Structures are given as C-alpha cells and as structure tokens.
C-alpha cells in the first residue's frame, strides 16, 4: 500500500524551495530536450522496436539496441530526416 506524502514534513519555506527547484528542473530538462532532438528520436525508436518485436528478454534487447555501433548514424539520419519534413 502506497503511503501518502506527509505535507507537514516540510516547512512552508522548504515547500516553496522544493516547488521552485521542480520548476527550474523541468525548464532545464525541456531546454535540453529541445537542444537535443536525438534524445526524443532515440527513445521513440527504441520503444517502437520494443512494441513491434516484443522481446522476451528486454534487458538483453536494450543492451543490444544501445550498444549497436551503427546507432549514432541511424539516429542522426532520422533526426535529419525529421528536420527536413518539418521545414
């Protein structure tokens, strides 16, 4: 059974600091992802392959996928292809 968070565990100042930290972290993550479209392409392609191939050993599948020496070229090509479509 999941425990409910104890709101009273943090002071109001700590809660506000945490809220601000979360906002800054989300903004930094969003900026990073916008600057690196290959991350979205990489995860999208990986998940597509998982759903299409339905591997029995997901860990081995992931290890093989991410250690493919041709992966950077494949993702780079897909990013360029996607950018050309969105012009």
For 79, residues 6+ apart whose C-beta sits below 8 A from its C-beta are 37, 38, 41
Neighbouring CB atoms inside 10 A of 46's CB total: 16
Contact between 37 and 82 under an 8 Å Cβ cutoff? The reply is: yes
Tokens of 56: 């029995």
Domain locations in the chain? Answer: 56-87
What's the confidence (pLDDT) of residue 1? Answer: 62
pTM over 0.75: no
Residue 5 has pLDDT above 80, yes or no: no
What's the confidence (pLDDT) of residue 78? Answer: 86
What's the confidence (pLDDT) of residue 81? Answer: 84
Q: Following DSSP, what letter does each residue of 23-70 receive, concatenated?
A: HHHHHHHHHHHHH-HHHHHHHHHHHHHHHHH--S-HHHHHHHHHT-TT
pLDDT digits (tens, 9 = 90+) for 19-73: 999 999 999 999 999 999 889 889 999 999 999 999 999 999 999 999 999 999 9
Residue 7 has pLDDT above 90, yes or no: no
């Amino acid at each position: 059974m999941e425990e409910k968070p104890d709101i009273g565990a943090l002071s109001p100042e700590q809660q506000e600091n945490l809220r601000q930290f979360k906002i800054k972290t989300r903004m930094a993550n969003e900026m990073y992802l916008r600057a690196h479209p290959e991350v979205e392409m990489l995860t999208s392609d990986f998940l597509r392959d998982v759903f299409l191939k339905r591997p029995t050993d997901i860990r081995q599948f992931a290890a093989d996928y991410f250690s493919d020496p041709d992966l950077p070229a494949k993702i780079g090509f897909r990013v360029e292809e996607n950018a050309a479509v969105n012009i």
